Amino acid sequence: MSTTALTYAVPGVSCEHCRAAITAEVSKVAGVEQVDVDLDAKRVTVTGTAVDDAAVCAAIDEAGYDVA
């Protein structure tokens, strides 16, 4: 199985709380192995195997943030 890296622009992230909230929700998505939240670039990078893009978007939304 191949590892994929998906990147999302999430303008609303600004602090460690945002990082924790998004990491907690996105980590629940099937196949996700790593979640990186770059607070400076306002970008979330998700690494994993056969990760469903729509599920990650839904998880970020669930955490309370909008994907640009």
Residues that bind Cu ion (CB under 5 A): 14-15, 17-18
Residue 45 makes CB contacts below 8 A (sequence gap 6+) with 5, 6, 7, 8, 35, 36, 38
User: Which is closer to Cu ion, CB of 53 or CB of 66?
Assistant: 66
User: Which is closer to Cu ion, CB of 18 or CB of 59?
Assistant: 18
User: Whole-number minimum distance, CB 26 to Cu ion, in Å?
Assistant: 15
User: Whole-number minimum distance, CB 65 to Cu ion, in Å?
Assistant: 9
